[in-house]
Amino acid sequence: MTYADRIAGLKSSAIREILKVTSNPEIISFAGGLPAPELFPLNELADVAQKVFSKFESAVLQYSVTEGIGPLREKIARSLDPDGDALGVDNILITQGSQQGLDLVSKLFIDKGTVVLTENPSYLGALQSFLLFQAEIRPVASDEDGIVLEKLAEVCGRGPAALLYAMPNFQNPTGISIARERRPGLLQIVRQHDVMVVEDDPYGELIFEGERPPSLLALGGTRNVIRLGSFSKTIAPGLRIAYVAADEEIIHKLAVIKQGTDLQTNTFGQYLVNEYLENGRHEEHLRLLRKTYGFRRDCMIEAMQRHFPSSVWRNRPSGGMFLWVRLPEGRDARDLLARCLERKVAFVPGQEFFPDGSGSNTIRLNYSNASPGNIEVGIRRMGEAMKEMGM
């Protein structure tokens, strides 16, 4: 076979391999990044589906415009910019999940060797998308308050970069957010160096405590920021409904690229989400998600306090779906995984998420998809394996 050159660097992710093991129902898995299925608004969506069919009839099954249906785009624009000063429908493109937003943005901005700056660690799906288009990834050091601004300025100073990919809230894999105080400085640096920010924010609504800081788009405007949002974590990922919010010219170009990819996002899903948002119960649903996931995070932290050795560090994100763990220096999380799999517990070793290959002693744990009972048992077994390894 003669494949395209860009395929040469393509690797299957180790996470996919771990997730194969976790399809065994006996395994307690903190490995995936799945929302809790028992919280999907099934009955509401069934009612809304009926309503949508009787109200719009065959239109919900017909081809539709590439940019997405007007009422949904309008709602998203208003949710991002209530006064309507900065964003209108022409600033919104509906996509098949945010993952498609990442693919379209990659197609628009990345040539072979184009420099893309990322957090370190970063979201694997984004890295895969950038690498498929042969980007050169330059990771920027991050701490508990997100990207370190001095490091960002230093990396920007090394030469031109097209994009900075950043997750502002409860990022995947660490659960860390970019601190409110850092956001204006971050935008100032990218402005100076002519770098476009891709703000990917699927977890921002899942906030358990405190106040959500303004988005990078709200602070920087469409000249500096392309924002990706998704209903995957707040309604259901199987619907595949998400959006890009950006400058009109960028939206137009992304829409032309999308035509060549899939013509449009599925019409029925868009009508369904639009009508669901209109029925006014979304806020109530978000409150339920925040309460349940916040409780599961607390269960996981309390179990760690009881079962993990004191040499193991963990953080306490104030939202999202993930917790981050650091084993003592020199330990390899993959060795721990092997012992944990014997005990029927799975997690993702963090190294996968580091573009610079560091982080071998780190671990990503998902708490949204595990019951409090399984969290207790799984964390206890992990703690036993850690102690067995002499941590």
CB distance 351 to 336 below 8 Å: no
Candidates 71, 88, 125, 294: give the one binding ligand PLP (CB under 6 A). Answer: 125
Contact segment (CB under 6 A) with ligand PLP among 95-103, 143-151, 213-221, 258-266 equals: 95-103
Name the minimum Å distance from CB 96 to ligand PLP: 8
Q: Determine the size of the site formed for ligand PLP (CB under 6 A).
A: 14
Contact segment (CB under 6 A) with ligand PLP among 94-102, 336-344, 348-356, 369-377 equals: 94-102
Residues in 139-198 at the binding interface with ligand PLP, rule: CB under 6 A: 167, 172
Candidates 123, 133, 324, 354: give the one binding ligand PLP (CB under 6 A). Answer: 123
Closest CB to ligand PLP among 237 and 383?
Answer: 237
Closest CB to ligand PLP among 164 and 336?
Answer: 164
- Strand 163-166 versus strand 196-200 pairing type: parallel
Residues in 197-236 at the binding interface with ligand PLP, rule: CB under 6 A: 200, 202, 230, 232
Name the minimum Å distance from CB 320 to ligand PLP: 9
DSSP string for 320-385 = SSEEEEEPPTT--HHHHHHHHHHTTEE-EEGGGG-TTS--TTEEEEE-TTS-HHHHHHHHHHHHHH
21/64 Cα distance (integer angstroms): 40
Structure-block tokens of residue 48 = 């809304």
Closest CB to ligand PLP among 75 and 339?
Answer: 75
- Strand 242-245 versus strand 225-230 pairing type: antiparallel
Interaction mask 6-45, ligand PLP, x per CB under 6 A: ---------------------------x------------
Q: Which amino acid is at 28?
A: I
159/152 Cα distance (integer angstroms): 12
Q: List % helix, strand, coil for the chain (3-state, nearest 5).
A: 45, 15, 40
Asked if 97 touches ligand PLP (CB under 6 A), the answer is yes
Burial bucket for residue 40 (CB in 10 Å: 0-12, 13-18, 19+): middle
Name the minimum Å distance from CB 261 to ligand PLP: 14
Name the minimum Å distance from CB 16 to ligand PLP: 13
Q: CA end-to-end span of the chain, whole Å?
A: 49
Interaction mask 273-292, ligand PLP, x per CB under 6 A: --------------------
Residue nearest to ligand PLP according to CB distances in the complex: 97
341/184 Cα distance (integer angstroms): 44
List Cβ neighbours of 156 (8 Å cut-off, separation of 6 or more): 117, 189, 190, 192, 193, 195
Residues that bind ligand PLP (CB under 6 A): 33, 97-99, 123, 125, 167, 172, 200, 202, 230, 232, 237, 242
